[in-house]
Structures are given as structure tokens and as C-alpha cells.
Structure 1
Amino acid sequence: MVANLLAYLVQLPASRLLGPAGYGEFAVLLSAMLVMAVPALALQSVVAREVVRGADRRGLWRLIAVVTGVVALASVGFAAAMMGIADTAAGPAFAAMAGAAPLAVIAGGQGLIQGDGRFGLLGGVLAGVGVLRSAPVIAAVVLGGGSTWALTAGTLGTAVAALGVGALAVRTPAVRSGAPAAAPSAVLWASGVQLVIIVAASLDLLLSRTVLSADDAGIYALGAVATKAAFWLPQAVGVVVYPRLADPVRSTAALRSASKVLAVIGIAVTLAAAAAGPLVPTVVSPDYRPVTGLLWLFALTGAVLAVLQLLLLAAIARDRARGGIPASLVLALEVVCILAYADSVLSLAVIAVLSALASVLVTWLWIELSDRS
């Protein structure tokens, strides 16, 4: 909760002090970092699983090193790609993507701590990492730095956090069985569903600077904060219900009940966003007035994506390896629609919410058909 709160707290000074154009660049690169964080999220899951199985710690550290090296190389190419895709300058693009490799180290260390069952320490680590990643960004923006300096500060904070988490993770109990660690390919396969989820939640923002003006992209980026909030807020629902989703006897009932909970939360968040919309010019800046009447639409998109995340978790729990394919096809269609038809904040937001609804529909149908076969 501390880490997520700080991540959103960054948006307030950034949106006020960077201006719509600068904030648009800043926000789209933060969203790009979510894509680069996919291998890290998968790495933590694989490492934690292997620790429980008693894998050799030296092998796990080698796995962390390999994934970190691959991510570091990929981040260079991704930074160059973002310059063309999102029309960003080289400085902020490379400053942002440089944080991907230390994030993999953090994830690997958290996986070791999680696998050992040291949850008190893990909670402290998550909060500490959140502070180290967010506080430097806030300080850089408040001191008058532009998007390049803000993103550089965040990367430096992430690097410091990686050193700290690594030092804590090294202090592990003795190896239990010394079983061979998982191969890097395990992380690759584990990244599949994570990638679908993250891309679905970020695609519209990633392409916003391609189809909108710099100012409109900044306005859209502020609206997308409501999308992210509505998406991440009910994440604990999936965590709690996951064991029941994996139980063949209770899976269907659990999926239906969890979907109802997410629907209630989504309606509440959407209504709250509609009520909060008129406050945007006062709380943030008059420059963002065009988003006041659309904030509910952004929140609705995030609420629908939260349901999609639950459905993909259900596919994983039921050992449906191809569960992300239907949503992936919708994402491909969403790219085409954005590039062809999105020419305003409203049109891009409408395409995003319709794509989210379509993803939920096709994934739900795929799960139902899989259960009958």
C-alpha cells in the first residue's frame, strides 16, 4: 500500500510542474517501464517457487544475473524504440529504461525472501523500495528538474534499492536440498500472461504520443492515472481467490463470486471518478480541464481490466497455457484502431474501454469453452 500510494503521489507534482507536454513524455515512459518490468515480475514468481522446492541458491543467483543481463540489453533497444513509437527525446527514454535491470535484481531478491516465508521482511522491503523509487523523482520535480532529471533520479533510487535488497536477500538460510535451479526459459514462459496484463493496461498510453499532440497526450496521461488506480486497487481480490480458482470443485463458483466483487468495486470507483472529475483543475492545474468530464471513462477502463486480470489468473490456475491468446488478439486489433481512428483524447479513451470490454468477453468465452471440452 505504501509503495502504490507513493507511485501515485509522484503524479501530482509531476503533472503540476512539468506541464502537459512534459508530463505526457514523463508518464508514457513510466508506462513503458511497466512493460520492461514484466520479466522482473515473472522472475520473482519463479525464484520464490524454486526456493520453496529447495533449489540451490547459487543457481538462483545465476538465474537472476542472466535475466538481469538480458533485461539490460533489451532496455537499450526498447529505449530506442520508444523514441520512435512515443516521440520522446533520447535523454528521458534512456534514463527511464536504465532502471529495468536493477528492477530485475530487486525482483529476484524479493523472490528469495518470499520463498523463505519472511513476509515481515518482504513487507518492509516493498515499502522501502517504493520510497527509494519515488522520493527522488518527487524531489527532482519539486527542485525544477525536467522529465529527464526526474526519470534519472528514479533510476538512481532503483539502483540503490537493488543494492539494499540484494544485501538482504544474501542473508538466507542454508540450502535445503540443493536441487538444480530453474532454467531462464521458465522465466520466459512465466512472462507470457504478465505481458498480456501489463500491455492491456498500458497500450493506449504508450501510443498516445503517436496519435495525439503533446498537450493532448499530457491530458490523456493524467486521465490514465484513474485507469491505473482502478486497475490496481482490487488486485488483492485475485491474490485471495487464487487457491479456490485452482480447486476444480470450487473454481467456477469462486470465479463468479470474485467477478461480482470486482464489478461492485469497479462501479464504486467509476462513480467516485465521475464525482472527482470537476476537482481536477483545482487540485492539479487548469491545463487539464478537458479531462474533467472523461475521468469516469478512464476509471471504467481500469475496472474492466481488473476483471480481465482475474480471468487470466483463472486460466493460469486451471493450467490453460493458451489463456492469454484471445486477449492478445484483441490487443493487436486495438493497435490498429488507435492508429487508424484515435485523433482526440475522447476517441482514444473510447477505443481503450471498448477494447478492454472485448478482451474480457473473448477471454470469458474461451474459459467457458475450455471447461466444456
Structure 2
Amino acid sequence: MTSPAADSVLRGPGAIAVAMGVMNVATYGFTIVAARLLGPQSYGALASLLATLLVIGVLQLSFQATAARRISADPQHVAQIEKTVLGVTYRASLAIGLVLLVLTPVVNRVLKLDSLATAALVAVTAVPITMMGGQAGVLQGERRWWPLAVLYVANGVPRLVIGTALILWRPDETTAMLGVAIGSLPPVVIGWLALRGHRVPGVVSEEHGFRDVMREILHNSQALLAFFALSSADIIVARNVLPQHSAGLYAGGLILTKAVLFLPQFVIIVAFPSMSTADERRHALTRSLLVVGGLGVCATLGALVLRNVALVFVGGDDYREIASTLWVFAILGTALSMLQLLVYSVLARQGKRSVYLVWAAFLVLVGVGYFVSTLHQLITLVVTTDLVLFALLLALSLYTLRKDDERLAEVVDPGINGA
């Protein structure tokens, strides 16, 4: 028999924190194993593949955000929303897989892989990770934390186990990517099992029809694409402007950046439904920023004071040249995690203009990035760009939320401004 507090962790939102912690540990355990066993050059190739998948995964996250927001805001039409979103999800996953398969030579050339088979695995992996998005969004919107938690665990542990086994068998980027592809299948199975029950259709709303859902998905996709393009562009730039060894070192430093970025993901998952509600948005955003920022500060101080320990987590002695710079990579991860929270806040209120700032930052990073020549110049450029963007986006978001609060107050009490 469990206590109420323990039951809250196992069944409530706390389950998401635990599950995503397990997922992140497993995911980054895999990257650490890959960095150690593959070495800087092969790991640099794998890192560019994973960064490409991160950008492709925008569609997955768009489906998830769309389903979660709509179900949270209008739970009376959950059956209709689920049917529409999942139908679009499954079709889109197969379509994007076919498109990427056709583009395999392009992926191979841009990432400098010299292996069509390796590049083709990007297309194979894209199908299940896209399917997972719609499934996770329905569970998130319904606040079914327990099955969602199981899905997240299944999204990390199989990659670690299968990927490590394959790398030990044959240590190269192709085998490592095959492990990623196989490891992406279990969460889709979990999602299908969780959602296979029949739902009573209920009243149908035109607002949740195919066309409106697709319009929101496209809007969410371009907003999330802007963020993930920004957060992934630096490794592509590194592989094109830096020597292979330096690009590999930079990829190793990004292991810490991605760890800090994804460490507070549970905050976004739990807070997003509240950020979709007008009277909860400001409180949910400010509280979430404090939590995410606090975790980032702890990670940065840890990387600064315990650099040798941090070095273990990015691949060991092969990456010692960047040991003194790891705290900067932690700052980068903190900035990106807070930027991601702001982007999701924009999605929750269906804002349109804020995303232009993210695209502008991306263009600055890519444009100026091709004129840098050293690892330290690149990391300085990336951190500066992201911090400036964060300050601008935060100011705009707080201003918009204040205006929303004023409009809400007028609706609740029209006599306030006329007194």
C-alpha cells in the first residue's frame, strides 16, 4: 500500500518527471557510449544525424502540441480531436518517410556521410517518431500521465540497450543509427495500446475538423521548426567550417548542451495544458521559467566546478581540449531550454509574430557562423545569439500576456475601465 505522496508521483504529473528523467538518462547514456566508442570523427557524423532527426521531429512535436492544446481547451470533443489528429499523424508519418527516402542523396551530401545506407536510416527513423507525436499529444491533453510516462520511458531505454549492443558489435555511425531506428519503435506500440479503446463520438465541432487542425499543425510546425533549426544549426555549421577534429570536439560539448536542454522537459509537458488556458498562462509561464532557469544554473555551476566529472559525461579524455569550456556549453543549454519554454508558451496562446524573432536569430547564426574559424568563436557566437533572442522574446511574451490579462479582466468585469 502506497502513501498519497508516493501515489501522486506514480500516477500524477510527478510520473512525467520520473519518466522523462529515465528517458533523458537513457538517451544521453547512449550518446556518451557512442562518443566514447566511436571517437570524435564517427561521433561527429552521428551527432549530425541526430541533429537532423531533431529538426525532422518538429512534425512530431507539432502534432503533440496541437492535440494537447485542443483537448485541454475543449475536452468535450476529445473523441473527434483524437480521431482527426491521429488520422493526420499516421498519414503524415508515412509521407515524410517517403520524402526523406527520396532525399537520401541530399542528406548524405549535406552531412558529408559518404554512405547512402546511413543517410537512408534517417527516413526509416522519421516514421515512428512522427507517429509517436499524435499519440503523446492525446495522452498529454487528457492528462493521462501514467501511460504517457510509460511511453516516454520506452522512448529512451530501448535506444540505450539496442544502440549500445550494436555499437559494441560494430562501432561505426551506421550501426549506431540503426540502433536509434530500432529503438524508436517501442513507444509507438505503447501509444497504440494506450489509445486502442473505443470512444463515444459525442457532438462534432467544425472547429476540430481536418482543415482547422491542419492549419494549427502547420503553424505549430513552423514555430517549432524555427526553434529546432536554431538549436541544431550550429553542429551543421561546425561540420562545414571547422576541421573534422574540432567539429567532433564541438559535437562532444553539445552532449552537455542537449542534456541541459532536455533536463527540464517535464516542466513543459506538465505546464503546457495550463499555458493553454487564458487565466493560467502568466502564472504557468513565470513559474516554469524559474524552475527551468534554476536547473540550468545548477548545471552550469556543476560544469564549472566539476569539469572533470562533466568531461566524463561528454566522452572522456578524447574531449579534454574542451574541458575548460564545458560550462559555456551548459549556459547554451540553459538558454535553449528557456527559449523552448517561451516558444511553447507562444503555441499555447496561438501567437503568430513572436516566431519571426526565432527565424531572425537562425539567419544570424548561419550567416555569421560561416565566417568563424575556431571552436571558441563558434560557441561564443551561438551563446550570444541565443541570449539576445531570449531577452527579446521574454520581453515580447510578458507584454503580450499583460495585454491578454487586461482583455480578460474587461470580459470578466466590463465596468473596471469605465468606472
TM-score (norm 1): 0.88
Distance 1:314 1:159, change over 3 A: closer
For structure 1, the 5+ residue unaligned runs are none
Which whole-Å CA distance do the structure 1 matches of 2:224 and 2:96 have between them? 15
The residue correspondences of 1:334-373 to structure 2 (distance < 5 A) are 334-341=365-372, 343-367=373-397, 370=400
1:222 and 2:242 aligned: no
Distance 1:254 1:113, change over 3 A: closer
Q: Give the partner amino acid of 2:218.
A: L
Q: Give the partner amino acid of 2:320.
A: R
**Residue of structure 2 equivalent to 1:104:** 130
Which of 38, 44, 64 does residue 24 from structure 1 map onto?
A: 44
**Residue of structure 1 equivalent to 2:414:** none
**Residue of structure 1 equivalent to 2:237:** 207
**Residue of structure 2 equivalent to 1:182:** 210
Which whole-Å CA distance do the structure 2 matches of 1:243 and 1:106 have between them? 18
Which whole-Å CA distance do the structure 1 matches of 2:147 and 2:312 have between them? 40
Which of 88, 95, 106 does residue 113 from structure 2 map onto?
A: 88
Which whole-Å CA distance do the structure 2 matches of 1:101 and 1:243 have between them? 26
1:35 and 2:55 aligned: yes
* CA positional deviation for 1:168: 4.1
**Residue of structure 2 equivalent to 1:193:** 223
* CA positional deviation for 1:192: 2.4
Q: Is the 8 A contact 1:56 1:175 kept in 2?
A: no
Which whole-Å CA distance do the structure 2 matches of 1:282 and 1:111 have between them? 35
Q: Is the 8 A contact 2:43 2:248 kept in 1?
A: yes
Match of 1:174, SS state, is coil
Deviations 1:217-270 (CA, angstroms, capped at 9, x unpaired)? 211111001111111222344455556656666755665554444433322211
**Residue of structure 2 equivalent to 1:129:** 155
* CA positional deviation for 1:178: 5.2
Q: Is the 8 A contact 1:231 1:306 kept in 2?
A: yes
Match of 2:360, SS state, is helix
Which whole-Å CA distance do the structure 1 matches of 2:401 and 2:45 have between them? 44
Larger CA deviation: 36-45 vs 244-253: 244-253
**Residue of structure 1 equivalent to 2:337:** 306
Match of 1:176, SS state, is coil
* CA positional deviation for 1:25: 0.5
Larger CA deviation: 261-270 vs 20-29: 261-270
Q: Is the 8 A contact 1:226 1:302 kept in 2?
A: yes
Larger CA deviation: 303-312 vs 178-187: 178-187
Q: Is the 8 A contact 2:141 2:273 kept in 1?
A: no
* Aligned-residue RMSD, C-alpha: 2.8
Q: Give the partner amino acid of 1:266.
A: G
* CA positional deviation for 1:368: 5.2
TM-score (norm 2): 0.79
Which of 307, 318, 322 does residue 291 from structure 1 map onto?
A: 322
* CA positional deviation for 1:278: 2.6
Match of 2:353, SS state, is coil
* CA positional deviation for 1:355: 1.0
Which whole-Å CA distance do the structure 2 matches of 1:319 and 1:162 have between them? 28
**Residue of structure 2 equivalent to 1:321:** 352
**Residue of structure 2 equivalent to 1:158:** 184
Match of 1:31, SS state, is helix
Q: Is the 8 A contact 1:38 1:198 kept in 2?
A: yes
Which of 23, 31, 35 does residue 3 from structure 1 map onto?
A: 23
Q: Is the 8 A contact 2:60 2:129 kept in 1?
A: yes
* CA positional deviation for 1:274: 1.6
Which whole-Å CA distance do the structure 2 matches of 1:295 and 1:282 have between them? 11
**Residue of structure 1 equivalent to 2:95:** 70
Match of 2:199, SS state, is coil
**Residue of structure 2 equivalent to 1:265:** 295
Larger CA deviation: 4-13 vs 198-207: 198-207
1:14 and 2:45 aligned: no
Which of 166, 171, 182 does residue 140 from structure 1 map onto?
A: 166
Match of 1:170, SS state, is coil
Distance 1:95 1:242, change over 3 A: closer
Which whole-Å CA distance do the structure 2 matches of 1:303 and 1:182 have between them? 37
Q: Is the 8 A contact 1:22 1:147 kept in 2?
A: yes
Give aligned pairs, total.
372
Q: Give the partner amino acid of 2:128.
A: P
Distance 1:96 1:249, change over 3 A: closer
* CA positional deviation for 1:361: 2.3
Which whole-Å CA distance do the structure 2 matches of 1:117 and 1:281 have between them? 38
* CA positional deviation for 1:145: 3.4
Q: Is the 8 A contact 1:87 1:210 kept in 2?
A: no
Larger CA deviation: 49-58 vs 148-157: 49-58
Q: Is the 8 A contact 2:67 2:82 kept in 1?
A: no
* CA positional deviation for 1:140: 0.8
Larger CA deviation: 81-90 vs 177-186: 177-186
Distance 1:181 1:35, change over 3 A: same
Deviations 1:269-301 (CA, angstroms, capped at 9, x unpaired)? 111112332346667332211110110010001
Which whole-Å CA distance do the structure 2 matches of 1:249 and 1:58 have between them? 28
